[in-house]
Amino acid sequence: MSTVRLAHLYPEQMNIYADRGNIAVFAQRLAWRGLQLDIAEFGIGDTLDPNAHDLYYLGGGQDRDQRIVAHDLVATKADALRSAANNGAAFLWVCGGIQLAGTGYTDASGQRLPGVGILDVDTVAGDSRLIGDLVITTTLKELHCQVVGYENHVGRTLLGGDAEPLGTVVKGHGNDGESGYEGATRNRIIGTYLHGPLLPKNPQLADLLLSWALAHGGHPTQLEPLDDSLAATARTVAASRAGLAR
């Protein structure tokens, strides 16, 4: 049985807006195909083997927890994460995750939180929160579709020259409310502000990440099609709620 090895980073601290549901989607979509997800959890003080995992997941968290996590990431995990990213592992880092994937985040108090530098982005807190339903059109070369979710963040994330957006905003604010971009990508890394959780309504994105992870583990990447009609209905309702015609 082919197995995807997932490293779930800081599940106790970084799990708001039901982000843990993304891992349930990974597990179920693999199980429906006779494949397996092996989950290892890593918290404060734990170190990583950069060759031991195919997929790295980090969700969003409260400001206090994010400060703790930021410093622990740099102290105990950053080198391994950079090595894994450069060696083709897959990453999904959500909300606080995209902020910590970059060069750093200057929060509302002016405190600078360090990032691990796997994405060429930088984030500064704005004067207001960017909240609401969010619809984007992906710009990934492997995936051209609409992706829906919910955003709630004060950070304004700007992309550097070595990062591409996950998509362009159709409805909502995106990274900064001005650029028209949402998320950031490089290699097999995805950072995004899309909550909800993200993946139940966006199975194509889930399968792309799984195919990347399977490729990293040396497994066949062709995934058997599934009946995603329920997810398609949920995505249509979410887009309608964002103000797009059904």
CB-CB contact of 129 with 153 (8 Å): yes
The stretch 148-161 carries a mean pLDDT of: 96
Whether 213 shows a pLDDT value over 60: the answer reads yes
In terms of phi and psi (left: phi > 0; alpha: psi -120 to 50; beta: otherwise), the region of 163 is beta
Residue 113 lies in a domain: yes
Query: Domains in the chain: how many in total?
Result: 1
Q: pTM value?
A: 0.96
pLDDT tens track for 31-68: 999 999 999 999 999 999 999 999 999 999 888 899 99
Residue 185 lies in a domain: yes
Task: Give yes or no: 144 in active site.
Answer: no
Domain of residue 198: give its range. Answer: 3-241
What pLDDT band is residue 163 in, cutting at 50, 70 and 90?
very high
Residue 227 lies in a domain: yes
Residue 62 lies in a domain: yes
CB-CB contact of 138 with 166 (8 Å): yes
Residue 246 lies in a domain: no
pLDDT of residue 242: 86
Paired tokens of 5: 């090895």
Whether 15 shows a pLDDT value over 90: the answer reads no
Sign of CA dihedral 5, 9, 10, 14: negative
Paired tokens of 11: 């599940």
Percent of the chain topping pLDDT 90: 90
pLDDT of residue 27: 98
Q: In terms of C-beta density within 10 A (0-12 exposed, 13-18 middle, 19 or more buried), how is residue 105 classed?
A: buried
Q: Which entry of 8, 95, 153, 216 is annotated as an active-site residue?
A: 95
Residue 144 lies in a domain: yes
Task: Give yes or no: 195 in active site.
Answer: yes
pLDDT of residue 246: 54
Task: Give the closest residue to 58 by CA, choosing from 120, 104, 13, 107.
Answer: 13
Q: Which entry of 8, 53, 173, 195 is annotated as an active-site residue?
A: 195
CATH of the domain at 207: 3.40.50.880
pLDDT tens track for 114-142: 999 999 999 999 999 999 999 999 999 99
What pLDDT band is residue 245 in, cutting at 50, 70 and 90?
low
What pLDDT band is residue 243 in, cutting at 50, 70 and 90?
confident
Whether 224 shows a pLDDT value over 90: the answer reads yes
What pLDDT band is residue 21 in, cutting at 50, 70 and 90?
very high
What pLDDT band is residue 16 in, cutting at 50, 70 and 90?
confident
β-bridge partners, 3: 36
Whether 145 shows a pLDDT value over 60: the answer reads yes
